[in-house]
Copies of this chain bind each other. A is one copy, B any other.
Amino acid sequence: MSWQASIEISRDSGESLTAQVQRTIKREISDGVLHPGTRLPSTRRLADDLDVSRSVVVEAYGQLVAEGYLEAVQGSGTRVVRHLSAAPAPVVPTLLDEGQVPSVRWDLRSGTVNVAHFPYREWLGCGQRVLRTVRQGDLGYPPPSGVPAMREEVARYLGRVRGVRAAPGQVMVVSGFAHGLGLLCAALPSLGMTTLAMEDPGLPRQRAFVREAGMRTVPVPVDEDGIDVQALARTGARAVFVTPFHQFPTGVTLSPERREALVRWARDVDGYVIEDDYDGDFWFDRRARPLALQRLAPERVVYAGTSSKSLVPALRLGWLVVPRDLQPVLERLRSQRDLGSDCLTQLTFAELLRSGSFDRHLRRLRARYATRRKTLADAVRQFLPEARLDGPAAGLHAYVRLPRHTDEAALVAGALRRSVLVRGGREFCARPDGARPALVVGYTALHRSGLAEALRAVGAAHAELPGARRYPGPVRAAARSA
């Protein structure tokens, strides 16, 4: 099939191989090259053609099925859906939507959010109260940085729960964290900061986003204390993106010494730290919950938070706490792009915070996820005894470090043959050479029994690996074709 020739795989673009394959297939569909009903090559054949591991193609197909572009047909592989007049439905694949991800029974990917936990009743109640009491003035054009009630409640919440130092006027409401990051990547170059240092490992699509949004990126290694500040200093960058609460994906917390060093660095280079507190609402560890880095240097740290993890991504509701010096340039930039975010959603979220419903919701959610995290830890001990969970009990994913000799790619492929979709640690590395093998396991989508079953399957796949196998090992022929 000629369209395969148009898939160009780049191994250093920062975008994951899976994402590249997905994007290209989507483009070919929307360009009308791949017509409705067209059958795609088997995952094995396409993987051979592209010289990538089969799991890359399986995941790409699975995602495109979940998004409604492709459909799996019993006995005849995968094809473009027949009716694509409307845009395909967005789906966060969770086991709650069983059958939408073909051949995959357990989805252990991080980044999927369990939308079943959305507090429907509370949200609706707050929405009702807002509409009953909203002042006329709140329904006109909003201040682009957010409605006052929202900024006040967020500032109060962040101060109380994360130790963030923020006046309400420093809170900028954004349409999801990516929106805020896009603004920052457009603003910083105008202040002479054209390179954003980023933790390695990290999220490949975030690295790609930053580059698309206008900054160069440079990777900085992460160890058990978090980002290596000396290595950061050697890059010459004056801006850095970090996840100090619970590093993504390694799960480590930035140590107190490193925090001090990082803030010192920012002052020395007259630069900024972007603190992505993406899962800061979730701490289950016995140790004291670390506060936001921002409180150490409110004039140097842009704090970023989101409702995507605590509520749902669909709200597209996030917030930045902006150092005063950065405010004018960021506000000006925003006023060139949009005139603010949905006010009713902001007011409803503010009411959720004000009324205490959000706290109660989070308590329930934390209890649930703490149990799952413990189930995962037990299952890892039982089924992958040589592996260990790195970092504190926190967030919505765990980093399972594998024994040095483990062939990570073969393990991921073996797990997939047993219907478990899980990502290897190398997928998140900007410089994969020498990276220790690991699995990045999201545990919010599965119930406890599912988690245990999934880990049992991963353990079985691990047991099948030849002891001395080296990365990248050959992938076994699969039992069935996707």
Binding site for B on A (CB under 8 A): 27, 30, 66-68, 84-92, 94, 96-97, 100, 112-113, 115-116, 118, 120, 123-124, 127-128, 131-132, 135-143, 145-148, 151-152, 167-169, 175-176, 178-179, 182, 209, 212-214, 308, 312-317, 327-328, 335-345
Contact A87 B168 (CB under 8 A): yes
A168 touches B85 (CB 8 A): yes
Asked if A139 contacts B86 (CB within 8 A), the reply is no
Determine the residue in chain B with the shortest Cβ distance to A210.
Answer: B336
On whether the beta carbons of B168 and A342 are closer than 8 Å, the reply is no
Say yes or no: A92 contacts B139, CB within 8 Å: yes
CB-CB under 8 A from A169, the residues of chain B are: 30, 84-87
A344 touching B314, Cβ below 8 Å: yes
B residues within 8 A CB of A94? 136
Q: Are A140 and B316 in contact (CB under 8 A)?
A: no
Q: Is the CB of A90 within 8 A of B142?
A: yes
Known pairs A66-B137, A209-B336; list 9 more (Cβ under 8 Å). A85-B167, A85-B169, A88-B148, A90-B147, A124-B131, A138-B314, A212-B335, A315-B344, A316-B340
| Nearest chain B residue, comparing its CB with the CB of A345 | B342
Of all chain B residues, which has the CB nearest A127? B127
B residues near A124, Cβ cutoff 8 Å:
127-128, 131
Q: Quick one: given A179-B337, A341-B175, are A139 and B115 in contact (CB under 8 Å)?
A: yes
User: Nearest chain-B residue to A327 (Cβ)?
Assistant: B30
- Give the copy number: 2
Q: Given B92, B140, B338, which contacts A141 in the complex, CB threshold below 8 Å?
A: B92
CB distance from A125 to the nearest CB of B (A): 10
CB nearest neighbor in B for A94: B136
Asked if A148 meets B342 with Cβ closer than 8 Å, knowing A131-B123, A212-B336, the reply is no
Decide yes or no: A341 and B313 within 8 Å by CB, A87-B146, A136-B116, A143-B87 being known contacts.
no
- Is the CB–CB distance between B342 and A315 below 8 Å? yes
Sample 5 A-B pairs with CB under 8 A, ordered by A number.
A90-B147, A92-B140, A115-B140, A127-B127, A140-B313
Q: For A112, list chain B residues within 8 Å (CB).
A: 140
CB of A342 within 8 A of CB of B175, answer yes
Question: With a CB–CB cut-off of 8 A, which chain B residues contact A335?
Answer: 212
**Smallest CB-CB A-B distances: 3 pairs:** A92-B140, A91-B137, A314-B343
Chain B residues, CB < 8 A from A127: 124, 127
A222 to chain B, nearest CB (A): 25
**CA distance in complex: A168, B67 (Å):** 16
B176 pairs with A338, CB closer than 8 A: yes
Q: Would B140 and A338 count as touching, CB distance under 8 A?
A: no
**Contact partners of A316 in chain B: CB under 8 A:** 142, 338-343
Chain B residues contacting A341 (CB-CB under 8 Å) are 175, 316, 342
Query: A338 vs B181: C-alpha distance in the bound complex, in angstroms?
Result: 9
**A182: which of B137, B146, B338 is its contact (CB, 8 Å)?**
B338
Chain B contacts for A91, CB-based, 8 A:
136-137, 140
Residues of B within 8 A of A340 (CB): 175-176, 316
Q: Are B148's CB and A87's CB within 8 A?
A: yes
Closest Cβ of chain B to A347, distance in Å, is: 9
CB distance from A453 to the nearest CB of B (A): 21
A337/B151 contact (C-beta < 8 A), A135-B89, A138-B90 known: no
